[in-house]
Structure 1
Amino acid sequence: MEQGKGSPLQVDWQADTYWRNRRLSPAQLQVHDIRLEGWKADVGPMLEIKEVYSSTLLPDLENRDQLVNTMRIEEATKNWNEQNQLKILAAEYGWMNCLRSRRVQETIFDPPDHHKCRWIHISSKFSDYLQGCLLGLSDWSKSPSDTVLSLQQLEHCIYQNERFSKHGRYFAPFFQVLGDRDADAKGSEDTPMLLSVPFLDWSVEGDPPPLRFQIDPREGYQSSRSSSHMIRSILQHFYRLEDTSDRESMQVFTKHRPWQTDRSLDLKVRRWYGHYPSSLNVDELWVLVIDSRHIVTFSSNQSWKSRWPPLQLASRIMEVSFRGIRNSFLLSTKNQDYTSSIHVITALSGALGMLHRSFWTDITLCLSDRYASYLGHLQYRLHRSPSTKLVMDLLQVQEELNIIIQIMDQQISLITSLQSAFDGTSGRRRGQSHSSNKSYRHHASESLPHPDRATYRQYSFSTLSDPISQLLENLQREYVDLCDLRDNSNSLINRTIQLVNIRLEDHGKAILVFTIVTIIFLPLSFVSSFFGMNVYDIRNMTSTQSLFWIVSGSLTVGTVGFAIFLAFYGGAIVEWVFSWKENRRRRIKPRKQPRVLTEQRHTGFRNFEVLDAARLTKSGILIPLNDHGTRY
């Protein structure tokens, strides 16, 4: 290991075989501590998020095998299979117990180096890490049986909410409190919880650069087994059983490039984003609450993205959503504590507001602006030349907006259920599932101050002091804007179809004139060509010109009449022919297929009954007799 000037200690984790053979190492984690910092004397201590570098964890990691050696597995469960599974998980992830923050800050008068909450973020899509993190970060000294119960419910919860898709595993939005359902009666806030919700993100053309924090070393041959979910485009998210590769190039984020005509926007995109967005994707945020002081988040959001504007999920949570919540939270008139329950709302706000202007006003390529700009472009095309191609483009926009609105419906439903599950009196979490709408509730609406008392710049337009109500309000505001864009696209589609129909009516008149002229002069041209052939019997004819007009006139009248007859009665004739053939087939079929003999089974012998024997005898079919002299 080496230490550079002005930089944290650099450690070669791959040099140690202990970390080389493990799917997770401290270098692949983003560890943050939420703590009070007395950085301004006139304001007092402020909540801040500080990143904990992996090299600073080396003293704690000296006891990395302590959990494996001290786990009371026999006391936790009597099942031999569960004991064996716990030993395997402890050998793989037991070192994470060294990441537990043993120092907890209860009030602002405690020393400032004590932690409020420890947050670990993993850029991953592997569900195996959920069980490993829950086992490694849990406190096994209190109640091992409760931890085992939480692990069992976590595995069952993942299996229950898993859905099938051609493009990879995905999960329905859910939240589930794990462990003892009577935790509220015991006065405990340390019951684990698991939450999963989809959110929108974008990708770039070509292969993205490698992740900064995590590429699973065994991903190549174990991704099909352990992949929690795949990053999918919005079309793959909606059409789960179809191959949408031929339509991916038709996405608004792919074919609409507003920076090509706007020089200022082009400079902002290249300076802030580094890459031009090419497609709109659906990622999933997983939140695993270990206890009131430890929380783990998972997502596949690429960590190579720019940290300012914070397009990385972890950076957005630190730079945007955390600041907006802590400003109102810190100056509360009541004694509160920043726990994992509050950080769940912080993480949700950072993920769900990734591309929404309502969460961060300085975002350049937010969803509403992007689709509004493209609809303006299509409206300009509508005034110039309405066409069926324009209708297809408008339908594509409407389809994408419907998918985005559907995803936001799921998000709002989950947040609403989570809000209704908060306890307004005790702040203790109840061990109930999402389906029963009883989980846990934090007393926030009464204890949080008014936003005008905040001393730091607010990052949202909300005037609500409750963080989860603020999150809901921002989502609903963006939801209304996207619904308006969908309604506008619908009106543009109707208007385009009307204009196209008007033009088709004019085209129909032109086609009618062309058809009349063709029907009249095509027989004349045929007769003229026929009589103009330079052959012996036609060249030496003694007939006058009247023969030509008799033949051509008759042929013209016959052709026009036959065409009119087919136009008005052709469909009825075809239908009559098909019905006549069907009736004839039904009449002939019984004659070709004689009656068959059916067998009736009885207790001790077989008896055969003849169906319509008279008809069979009449038709010449011989019916043999059995030993008793009766016909079969």
Structure 2
Amino acid sequence: MALVDRPGRRSSELSLSVLTSTESTVRSNDACKPDDTTIKHATIVDIDVQTAKPREGLTFQRPLVKDLTRRGPAQIMNGAKQHKVSLRWVHLRANCMSWIEELMARVCEERGMAVPESSENSPMKNPLLRKDLWADLFHGKASDQIQSRFMGPTCIQFSSNLEDEMSDTNGSTGGSRDNLVLYLPFLHWESYDAWREREDLTRSISANKPGKPQPDRDFVAEYLHHGTAPFHDRRSLHQAYYHDFGLTRPLPQYKQVMQSFTSQTHPDSVKMMVVDQLWLWVIKGTGLSEEGSQPDLVVTAFPDRFNGVYDSANVYNSIIEHLERGLQPPLRTANNLVAAILEHCTGVFFQRQLEHDKWFVEFFAAAIGAVRNRQKLAFSDFCLKSRELKDLEDQEASLAETVGKLEDAAFSISVETSLVQDIKDIIDELSCVDYILHRQQDVVASLLRSQNSRSLKTIGEMVKERRDTWASIAKTAHVAYDEIQTQMDAQESARYGRTVLLLTVVTIIFLPMSFLATWFGMNVKDPDAGNLPLYQIAAIVFPISIAIALFALVVAFSEKLRDFIVAGVRDVLDFVLGTLGINRSRNRRRRQKWRMNRRQQDIESGTVGDSRDC
């Protein structure tokens, strides 16, 4: 399958290039064997771009990491069977800074690059790992929180023609910028059980406590708390997004959309989103025609699956299988290999199905749809109860019935509060994904500015398209959030109306009583009257207050009575004003308005009559 047939191909079409390879194909190659419990291996692939069959042009070696960092890739491959090499790829299956520093020291020796002696008092001066390309981009170096470690996303062209790391403070170089370094975060997924096992492992190692045997235990124990060049473990989606908050304390556990859905469909195989790092260097060779020449070298590092698990999401195995099938356009330069690696790293989360009938994007669409369905049900219940309340008012129901109806759960916002929390969690998770995609887009854009090729352009288009897809999903989530907020406002208005009703009832009941009590309490002289006994005052105050309150309540809750009273008052007012001659202009305006309305109705009906105006 082609890596990049046409620059305009959509990523959904390109997904065929990274489909799952069969286990028999990948397992047949020694380069894809998983590591055992104690020994870690690297992979070296020498590529002859002139062969007709891509598989025949690949020469693999699987040395121990310690052997690779001690001898160097050139010495190891020189001991392999006779083969031609146009391009060399070295891959490390973990983001371990110590491995990279030791490997780059051997690469410098092989290629004749001067590396000054380093000590505890002087920083490393490897021209491939200058401070601005390595140490300065290490985030979380001063933190004891493992999840805060990562290399700042970037893509930089640089020259190895520097005497030391401080010879150029403004980033310019004396030689040509032929070499490249790239740090890129990418989305992946991991088994939730494996994730918890890794967390237990790191906690037990940090606390110096024994733990159950795990394949990576010795490796993690050796490099997890390395003084200057530690191991970078994979992070959860929220750990990558809230990395600044995790510098001083562990982040709380966030339940993800993928985790929720997979726990419902496959409780024994729950999955979660994680963020991995791609570290990549392109080191130009010295020319293949010269004696002792070195080919172009591509060095990569990104994590393997936890505990050596083999499945379709193993990025490294997919790249190997892709190289064996062949690329389109054919693999000719380091740029083509970089494009293939970037395609698989950035596309592993998007171009594979987690289940037979679901893509990763569909989990979020389904989650948003579930929230919107619950919101619609709650809104339908609210509308139904509102109509029932209106019917009670039309039937002039008692105050107790009306207040009881207002106490219905449909007028509460407890359901909507839960929905708001759910949709905000989804929006937050979409923001985390967009954060990673934005970093990918920036890094690929920087790469395109320095290495303009058709294959890399296609990768840039794919990353942009994926980000646009997630933006549309986020827009749908925001629409759902706005709908829920609108519904909450409506229900809050109903609650506010209930409060106003209660205050109105209290006012209607106590205002006349207060007035009459004040009346009898006035200090007014009356020669014929003495102090009235309490029962006489009560006999006057309570009946009058009750009569006024009942009349006011009936008027407040009976729309028909209100309309009747308003119409009667209007008729009396019109009669009085007409008798006094004050209402003529008002009647004239009414007649003009009536004529305009009548004419408008005739125009709309298509029959303009010549009826006389009244």
Q: Is the 8 A contact 1:29 1:120 kept in 2?
A: no
Match of 2:455 in 1: 467
Match of 2:435 in 1: 406
Q: TM-score, normalised by structure 2?
A: 0.56
**3-state DSSP of counterpart to 2:160:** coil
Offset of residue 417 of structure 1: 1.4
Equivalenced residues, count: 419
Letter in 1 for 2:438: D
Q: Is the 8 A contact 1:97 1:137 kept in 2?
A: yes
Match of 1:462 in 2: none
Q: Is the 8 A contact 1:34 1:119 kept in 2?
A: yes
**Residue 239 (structure 1) aligned with residue 219 (structure 2):** no
**3-state DSSP of counterpart to 2:350:** coil
Aligned counterparts of 1:247 and 1:230: Cα–Cα separation in 2: 18
Q: Is the 8 A contact 2:305 2:314 kept in 1?
A: yes
Offset of residue 366 of structure 1: 4.3
Offset of residue 485 of structure 1: 0.5
Match of 1:350 in 2: 344
Aligned counterparts of 2:214 and 2:432: Cα–Cα separation in 1: 28
Cα deviations by residue, 1:323-368 (Å, 9 ceiling, x for unpaired): 68713215xxxxxx344x43222222221112013x8899876442
Match of 1:295 in 2: 298
Offset of residue 121 of structure 1: 2.4
Offset of residue 38 of structure 1: 11
Q: After the TM superposition, which residues 206-285 of structure 1 pair with which residues of structure 2 at under 5 Å, given as runs?
A: 206=193, 207-208=196-197, 215-216=218-219, 218-219=221-222, 222-223=225-226, 225-227=228-230, 229-242=232-245, 248-257=253-262, 260=265, 266=266, 275-277=269-271, 279-285=272-278
Offset of residue 297 of structure 1: 1.6
Offset of residue 220 of structure 1: 6.8
- Among the aligned pairs, what percent are the same residue? 13
| Of 182, 185, 209, the match for 1:198 | 185
Match of 2:367 in 1: 374
Q: Which runs of 5+ in 1 are unaligned?
A: 1-5, 15-19, 65-92, 105-110, 261-265, 331-336, 423-440, 445-465, 526-540, 558-632
Match of 1:594 in 2: none
Aligned counterparts of 2:185 and 2:340: Cα–Cα separation in 1: 16
Q: After the TM superposition, which residues 454-493 of structure 1 pair with which residues of structure 2 at under 5 Å, given as runs?
A: 466-493=454-481
**3-state DSSP of counterpart to 1:242:** coil
**Residue 419 (structure 1) aligned with residue 430 (structure 2):** no
Match of 1:67 in 2: none
**3-state DSSP of counterpart to 1:248:** coil
Match of 2:376 in 1: 383
Aligned pair in 2 of structure 1 residues 544, 98: CA closer, same or farther (>3 Å)?
same
| Of 172, 175, 185, the match for 2:155 | 175
Aligned counterparts of 2:75 and 2:366: Cα–Cα separation in 1: 47
Q: Is the 8 A contact 1:401 1:482 kept in 2?
A: yes
Letter in 1 for 2:181: L
Aligned counterparts of 1:224 and 1:230: Cα–Cα separation in 2: 16
Give the root-mean-square deviation of aligned CA atoms.
4.8
| Of 87, 90, 94, the match for 1:124 | 94
Letter in 2 for 1:412: Q
Aligned counterparts of 1:517 and 1:418: Cα–Cα separation in 2: 72
| Of 503, 511, 518, the match for 2:499 | 511
Offset of residue 8 of structure 1: 7.3
Letter in 1 for 2:373: Y
Match of 2:42 in 1: 30
Offset of residue 547 of structure 1: 2.6
Aligned counterparts of 2:337 and 2:29: Cα–Cα separation in 1: 28
Match of 2:482 in 1: 494
Match of 2:518 in 1: none
Cα deviations by residue, 1:442-472 (Å, 9 ceiling, x for unpaired): xx5xxxxxxxxxxxxxxxxxxxxx2212211
Aligned counterparts of 2:304 and 2:229: Cα–Cα separation in 1: 18
Q: Is the 8 A contact 2:186 2:276 kept in 1?
A: yes
Cα deviations by residue, 1:560-614 (Å, 9 ceiling, x for unpaired): xxxxxxxxxxxxxxxxxxxxxxxxxxxxxxxxxxxxxxxxxxxxxxxxxxxxxxx
Aligned counterparts of 1:409 and 1:371: Cα–Cα separation in 2: 19
- Which structure has greater helix proportion? 2
Q: TM-score, normalised by structure 1?
A: 0.55
Aligned counterparts of 1:120 and 1:415: Cα–Cα separation in 2: 21
Match of 2:105 in 1: 135
Offset of residue 160 of structure 1: 2.3
Q: Is the 8 A contact 1:149 1:180 kept in 2?
A: no
Aligned counterparts of 1:380 and 1:177: Cα–Cα separation in 2: 51
Letter in 2 for 1:352: T
Letter in 1 for 2:347: G
Cα deviations by residue, 1:105-158 (Å, 9 ceiling, x for unpaired): xxxxxx994344343322323322222111123453644369996447434422
Q: Is the 8 A contact 1:174 1:195 kept in 2?
A: yes
Letter in 1 for 2:320: M
Q: Is the 8 A contact 1:101 1:118 kept in 2?
A: no
Q: Is the 8 A contact 1:135 1:151 kept in 2?
A: no
Offset of residue 421 of structure 1: 0.6
Aligned pair in 2 of structure 1 residues 103, 225: CA closer, same or farther (>3 Å)?
closer
Q: After the TM superposition, which residues 354-365 of structure 1 pair with which residues of structure 2 at under 5 Å, given as runs?
A: 354-357=348-351
Letter in 2 for 1:253: M
Match of 2:315 in 1: 313
